Amino acid sequence: MSAPIVQLSHLSYTYLAGTELAATALVDASLSVSEGEIVALVGPSGAGKSTLVSFVNGLLRPEEGGRAVILGLDTHDPAADLSALRSQVGLVMQHPHQQLFERYVGDDIAYGPRQMGLSGESLRGRVRWAMEAVGLDFETFVDRRTFALSGGEMRRAALAGVLAMQPRILVLDEATAGLDQVGRSQVHEVLHRLQSEQGLTIVLVTNEMDEVVDMADSVSVLVKGHTVASGAVREVLGDASLMERCGLTVPEATELAQDLREHGIPIGQSLLSDGEVEEALWHVLHR
CATH number where 46 lies: 3.40.50.300
The answer to whether residue 284 is domain-embedded is no
The reply to whether 82 and 177 lie within a common domain is yes
What secondary structure letter does DSSP report for 104?
Answer: B
The reply to whether 153 and 51 lie within a common domain is no
The answer to whether residue 61 is domain-embedded is yes
The structural domain count of the chain equals 2
Task: Check residue 261 and give its pLDDT.
Answer: 82
DSSP characters over 203-222: EEE-S-HHHHHHH-SEEEEE
The reply to whether 174 and 128 lie within a common domain is no
> In whole angstroms, what is the distance from residue 60 CA to residue 207 CA?
23
The reply to whether 176 and 151 lie within a common domain is no
The answer to whether residue 58 is domain-embedded is yes
Which residues in the chain come in under a pLDDT of 50?
1
The answer to whether residue 281 is domain-embedded is no
The reply to whether 1 and 128 lie within a common domain is no
The reply to whether 4 and 67 lie within a common domain is yes
Domain boundary among 166, 190, 217: 166
Task: Check residue 272 and give its pLDDT.
Answer: 80
The reply to whether 34 and 148 lie within a common domain is no
First to last CA, the chain: 39
The reply to whether 49 and 174 lie within a common domain is yes
Task: Check residue 2 and give its pLDDT.
Answer: 63
What secondary structure letter does DSSP report for 33?
Answer: E
Question: What separation in angstroms does the CA of 270 have from each of 5, 207, 233, 274, 277?
Answer: 30, 18, 10, 12, 10
The answer to whether residue 287 is domain-embedded is no
* HSE-CB of 228 using CA atoms within 13 angstroms: 22
| pTM listed for this prediction | 0.88
The answer to whether residue 11 is domain-embedded is yes
**Strands of 67-70's sheet in order across:** 73-74, 67-70, 4-15, 23-34, 226-232, 218-223, 38-42, 201-205, 169-173, 89-92
Helix 120-133 crosses helix 105-115 at what angle (to 10 degrees)? 120
Consecutive H or E run containing 274:
helix 274-285
Q: Show contacts of 129-134: CB within 8 Å, 24+ apart.
A: 129/164, 130/160, 130/161, 130/163, 130/164, 131/105, 131/106, 131/157, 131/160, 133/160, 133/163, 133/190, 133/194, 134/159, 134/160, 134/163, 134/186, 134/187, 134/190
**Nearest alpha-carbon partner for 10 in 59, 72, 69:** 69
The reply to whether 104 and 37 lie within a common domain is no
- Residue 191: CB atoms within 10 Å: 22
Consecutive H or E run containing 281:
helix 274-285
The answer to whether residue 81 is domain-embedded is yes
The answer to whether residue 108 is domain-embedded is yes
> In whole angstroms, what is the distance from residue 265 CA to residue 156 CA?
42
The reply to whether 83 and 173 lie within a common domain is yes
Question: What separation in angstroms does the CA of 45 have from each of 23, 50, 51, 206, 207?
Answer: 15, 10, 12, 10, 9
Task: Check residue 104 and give its pLDDT.
Answer: 97
The reply to whether 73 and 97 lie within a common domain is no
Task: Check residue 97 and give its pLDDT.
Answer: 83
Sign of torsion, CA 82 33 194 208?
negative
Task: Check residue 3 and give its pLDDT.
Answer: 74
Task: Check residue 190 and give its pLDDT.
Answer: 84
What's the pLDDT tens digit per position in 51-77? 999 999 999 999 778 999 999 999 999
The reply to whether 77 and 213 lie within a common domain is yes
Residue 4, domain extent: 1-88+169-181+200-233
**Nearest alpha-carbon partner for 205 in 71, 97, 47, 87:** 47
